[in-house]
Amino acid sequence: MVGAYYYDREGKTRARNMGGNVLRSTFFFADGRDFSRSFIEYKAVYGQVHYDLTDQLSVDAEGRYGQDKRSIPFNAVTTRPVGSSINSFTPRLSVDYKVDDDTLVYASYAVGALPGGFNTGVFSRTATGPTDAEFARLQSEGKTVFGTEKNYVYIVGVKSTLMDGKLAFNGDIFNIDWKKQKINNIEQIITPNGPGVVSIQTNSGSSSVQGVEFSTSYLASENLTLAASYGLADHVFKAANDLQIAQFTGVPEHPTLRTGGNAKGKHSILAPKHSGSASVAWTDDLTADFTWFWRADGSYQSKKFGEVHNVSWTGARFTLNTRAGITTDGWRIDTYINNVFDDLTPGAIFRGADSSVLRYAANPGQSWSAIELSMPRGREFGVTGQYNF
């Protein structure tokens, strides 16, 4: 099998930032626009080959070669020329062995790529962007653009059905070698108005991820279905330089990386070590024409760190959703409760900067560090109806 893929996107964005009690942007840009624009063009060709070595053993090989181009319009007043073009090749090889009609054992190797890009904020010519001399410094230190992340994934697993198809079990063990990992940082810069900061990404990390995962489902009766899954993924930095970690820990920078403190041994951000889910579903006849059902789904994630020095985290989160309803040939009515226990643990935590500098009279030219939270929806309940005709 061979094929081609083409993607062309023009994005328009309008944003207004509120920090503290201060609106930090006006309705129009300096050149009269009321939105920012960006362009992405992606082209790829791919191919796949399948070959049966025996009745039980087969091999699949595939690959994709792609080109990712990104840019934003150039305006001499508001920005410097911004653009990037990155090529990547991602192969995959898998081997399947059919033990019997109910059991398949497999192994695979794959390379994944996340395209790089540019740190938009450093190209700004506005009062909050870097001066020309400061931009030249950032460019010489490789902080205006970031490259492609790559991960090398090794998996060995099994897929099986038991008890005449009533029980299904899938499981695998995996290892991921993650190279040129992007790390979010706050860079101190000199702006036309004095000292300031800008958010940037740098390819200053590499990680190792080992883990196991499984999923199972069981048809306990004609009415009752049970399912569960679990994942263990131990994300650990092998090397990562962070611009603030030395200030927090006193750990010196990694000798092979450019700047910042060494985060070796720390856990990756926004990646729970443990995750799992479980569900129970019941379906039964209410009358000759009506069927009623009920199901509950629970999910769990362990704590997630918000930055590479691991001094802030979200805490574990458990969510339970439940749903019940009645169906017939033409229509369906559901009642539901989402987040039954009203768990408001943040779904994610990010390190950022508080741009409301006017709040801090003692530091009028500085933005303070800040923690940003992604809050979940609280408990919700309602009724939905569906009619087919």
What's the distance, CA 180 to chain centroid?
16
> Is 162's pLDDT higher than 80?
yes
| 190-193 own/partner pairs: CB under 8 Å, 24+ apart | 190/130, 190/131, 190/133, 190/134, 191/127, 191/128, 191/129, 191/130, 191/131, 191/134, 192/127, 192/129, 192/131, 193/127, 193/128, 193/365
Q: Structurally, how many domains does the chain consist of? A: 1
CA distance 318 to 384: 25
What DSSP character marks residue 78?
T
**What are the residues facing 194 on neighbouring strands?**
191
Alpha-carbon distance 148 to 112, whole Å?
10
The whole-number pLDDT of residue 257 equals 44
Look at 20 and 245; give whichever has higher pLDDT: 245
Q: What pLDDT is attached to residue 330?
A: 84
Give dist(CA 71, CA 118) in Å, integer.
9
What does the pLDDT read at residue 80? 77
Residue 171 has pLDDT above 70, yes or no: yes
Task: Share the mean pLDDT of the chain.
Answer: 83
175 has pLDDT over 60:
yes
Residue 74 has pLDDT above 70, yes or no: no
The model's confidence at residue 359, banded by pLDDT at 50, 70 and 90, is very low
pLDDT of the residue at 48: 94
pLDDT at 181 over 90: no
User: In which band, very low, low, confident or very high, does the pLDDT at 256 lie, cut at 50, 70 and 90?
Assistant: very low
pLDDT of 62 higher than 80: yes
Average pLDDT over residues 319-347: 94
Query: How would residue 336 be classed by pLDDT, with cut points 50, 70 and 90?
Result: very high
Lowest mean pLDDT among 135-139, 205-209, 249-253, 270-274: 249-253
Chain segment 294-316, per-residue pLDDT in tens:
999 999 999 998 877 787 888 89
What is the pLDDT averaged over residues 160-174? 94
DSSP H helices in 234-373: 245-249
Measured CA to CA in angstroms, residue 191 lies from 129, 141, 246 at distances of: 6, 17, 24
Q: 141 pLDDT exceeds 90?
A: no
* Residues of the chain above pLDDT 90, percent: 45
pLDDT band at residue 259 using 50, 70 and 90 as cut-offs: very low
% of the chain beyond a pLDDT of 70: 82
User: Rounded CA gap, 157 and 159, in Å?
Assistant: 7
Q: Which domain holds residue 359?
A: 2-387
Rg, the chain, Cα only: 26
Look at residue 358 in the predicted model and tell me its pLDDT: 47
- Per-residue pLDDT at 354: 59
Q: How far apart are the first and last CA of the chain?
A: 39
CATH of the domain at 356: 2.40.170.20
pLDDT of residue 302: 95
pLDDT of 205 over the 90 cut: no
With 0-12 CB in 10 A as exposed, 13-18 as middle and 19+ as buried, what is 103?
Answer: middle
